[in-house]
Amino acid sequence: MKSIVRDDIISLESFVAAEFKYKYYLETLMKSGNYCFLDQFKRFIKNGQAIVNGMIEHNLLALENINKNYKYIYLTDTAMKYLYLRDSEEDFSDVKKNRISVKKVDKNPTEKQLLSSAYKFHLLIHGEALIDKESILKSIEDMIFNKNHKGNKDLYKKWINAREKEIEKCNENIGKIKNKDSTLLENLNLIKSGINLLNPSEDFKKYKGLESKIKEIEIQIQEKSPKLLRKGEVRELNVELEYLNKLKDEAYNLYSLKNKLLKNVEEVRSNFKSLIQKEEKQLNETQTKLESMNNVVKNKTIPEVEKIQKVFENLYNISKVIARIKDDSLEFIILDTGNFKTAFGYLKQINSIKELNLDFKEIKIIIYSYAEHRAFNLYNEFIKVKDEKKKALNTMKVFNEKTDNSNKKSAFYIAANKISNNIPNFEVEYKNTFFYMKGYMSVISSGNKSIKRKDKESIDNLIEKLRNKD
C-alpha cells in the first residue's frame, strides 16, 4: 500500500501512526462526533486500552475525567489536522505546524454532545452504517440524483466527463481534418506554380483556339486545292494542319488531365467538408446535451438536494435525531440525550420530512435510551398516538356510514380528520442497546444542578485567569 506522508501538517511520527495504525479509530470517532467514553472504547474494541494509550502517545487522542471512575476521550488538534488536511492539495511546508488551523474539538462537551457521540460511536463500531451526518447527506444527494437522472452524483460526474471528452475529441478531429485540407492546398500551391496545375481553363481556351484555326486551314485547303495543286501550297497547308492537330491534341490532353486532377482535389476537399460537418453536428449535439444536463442539475437537482439536506441536517444537529432513508423506509432514530420531545413533537418532524415527497414506503421509529423506563415511556406515547389515529379513523368511518358519505361534515368529524392527517402511519420500537450507559449518565448528571459541568469548568477557568492576572 502506498501513501503520501504529510509531515507538513503534523509530525512524521504522528502521521505514520495515524495513517497506518489508528486510521479506522480516528475516522470512527470523527463520524461519531469526536467523543466517546473510555470505558466504552475498552468494552467494545479488543486491546482498547493499549490502542488509546498509543493514540495519546502520538498526540492523536486526549483524555478527560468525568470523575475518578469515568473518563472520556476526544480527538486532538493533531488528529483533526490529519483527518481534514491529509488529502489537501495545499502544501503547508512553509507554515509553522501550530499556525495551521482546522476545526478544534472542545475538551468540555455538553451532555448532549457527549451522549450522542457515545451512541453513534457504539452503532458505528457494531457495523451500523449511515449513522454519521456526512453519510446521511451523501445518501440524500445520491437519492435525488437517482430520481432525477437515473444515477447517483458519481455517475453524473462520469457522464459529464465522458461528454467533455467527446467534445474534446470532436474539436481534435475537426482540427486534424482542417489541417489535412490546409496541407493539401499548400502542397498543390507549391507544385502548380509555373504550370497553373489547378486551372484547366487556359488549356481549354488554347484547345478551342487551335480547333478554330484548324477549321480555317481545312477550308483554305478545300478552296485552294484545285487551283494550287501544282504550286505545292496545299501540301504546306497540310503540314501546318498536321502540326496544329498535334498541338490541339496536346492541349486537350493537358486540359483533360488538369480537369480530372481538379475534380479529384474537389472531391477530396468535399469529403473533408462532409467529415467536418459530421463532427460539428456531433459536437453541437453533445454540447447541447451537456448544457441541458448542467442546467437541470444547477437549477433543479442541486436546489432540491440542498433543501432536503437542510431538513435532515437540522434534525441531526439540533434534535439529535438520525433520520435516514434505508431500504425504501424512513428510519427515524431517536437518541436520548437527557431530554425527549413528546411523541407528537417527533411526529411533527416526521411530517416535515413527508412533505418533501421522498420515495419511502413506510416509517420506522427507533428509540435508543440509556434507561429502560425512559425508552418504554416514550414508546408508550407513540402507541397511544397510534390508538388515537385508529379511533379517529373509526369515528370518520361511522359518520360516513350513517350519513351516506355526506359532504357536510360535523365538527367532531373535522376534528377526527385533523388528528388522522397529522398522524402518519408508522411502526415504533425501542432497543436495549444502550442501557449499559445508565451509569455514565448518572455520573454526568450528578453534582451541581443549576450549573452544568461544562459551564462550571468554564467559570473555573475564568476565575483562574483572573487570579493569574492579579
What pLDDT, in 10s, does the model give residues 220-250? 666 665 555 555 666 666 676 677 777 767 6
The yes-or-no verdict on residue 91 having pLDDT over 90 is no
Q: Which residues pair with 324 in a beta bridge?
A: 331
pLDDT at 465: 57
The yes-or-no verdict on residue 435 having pLDDT over 80 is yes
8 Å CB contact between 376 and 359? no
Question: From CA 129, how far away is CA 433, in angstroms rounded?
Answer: 16
The yes-or-no verdict on residue 424 having pLDDT over 90 is yes
Give kind and range of the element (H or E) at residue 12.
helix 12-20
Give the CA distances from residue 24 to residues 17, 30, 121, 231, 393, in Å, rounded to whole numbers and listed in that order.
11, 10, 12, 121, 50
Half-sphere exposure of residue 274, counting CA atoms within 13 Å on the CB side?
A: 6
pLDDT at 445: 67
Half-sphere exposure of residue 17, counting CA atoms within 13 Å on the CB side?
A: 18
CB atoms within 10 A of CB 65: 10
Q: What is the mean pLDDT of the chain?
A: 85
The yes-or-no verdict on residue 377 having pLDDT over 60 is yes
Phi then psi for 360, rounded to 5 degrees? -130, 150
∠ CA 448-453-456 to the nearest 5 degrees? 80
- Residue recorded with cell 417527533: 346
pLDDT at 470: 45
Rg, the chain, Cα only? 44
Q: For 291-342, where are the E strands, in sequence order? A: 321-326, 329-335
CB atoms within 10 A of CB 227: 10
8 Å CB contact between 37 and 28? no
pLDDT at 6: 80
Half-sphere exposure of residue 392, counting CA atoms within 13 Å on the CB side?
A: 18
Q: What's the chain's length in residues?
A: 470
Average pLDDT over residues 4-33: 91
| Segment among 47-56, 161-170, 186-195 with least mean pLDDT | 186-195
Give the CA distances from residue 253 to residues 242, 260, 380, in Å, rounded to whole numbers and listed in that order.
17, 10, 107
Average pLDDT over residues 19-29: 95
pLDDT band at 199 (very low <50, low <70, confident <90, very high): low
Question: From CA 461, how far away is CA 455, in angstroms rounded?
Answer: 10
The yes-or-no verdict on residue 449 having pLDDT over 50 is no
The yes-or-no verdict on residue 462 having pLDDT over 60 is no
pLDDT at 447: 39
Question: From CA 117, how far away is CA 132, in angstroms rounded?
Answer: 10
| Segment among 53-57, 144-148, 229-233, 380-384 with least mean pLDDT | 229-233
The yes-or-no verdict on residue 211 having pLDDT over 90 is no
pLDDT at 217: 67
pLDDT band at 444 (very low <50, low <70, confident <90, very high): confident
Instruction: Give Cα 158 to chain centroid, integer Å.
Output: 9
The yes-or-no verdict on residue 96 having pLDDT over 90 is no
pLDDT at 438: 87
Phi then psi for 2, rounded to 5 degrees? -105, 145
**For residue range 245-263, what is the model confidence (pLDDT) as tens digits?**
777 676 667 767 777 777 7
pLDDT at 192: 60
The yes-or-no verdict on residue 1 having pLDDT over 60 is no
pLDDT above 70 coverage of the chain, percent = 81
* Global pTM value: 0.76
Average pLDDT over residues 138-157: 92
**For residue range 42-70, what is the model confidence (pLDDT) as tens digits?**
999 999 999 999 999 999 999 998 877 78
8 Å CB contact between 130 and 326? yes
Non-local (6+) Cβ contacts of 340 within 8 A are: 334, 374, 378
Average pLDDT over residues 408-429: 91
pLDDT at 451: 36
- Residue recorded with cell 385508529: 390
Average pLDDT over residues 198-227: 65
Order of strands across the sheet that contains 35-37: 35-37, 71-75, 61-65
pLDDT at 225: 58
pLDDT band at 450 (very low <50, low <70, confident <90, very high): very low
The yes-or-no verdict on residue 370 having pLDDT over 60 is yes
pLDDT band at 208 (very low <50, low <70, confident <90, very high): low
The yes-or-no verdict on residue 8 having pLDDT over 50 is yes
∠ CA 439-443-448 to the nearest 5 degrees? 155
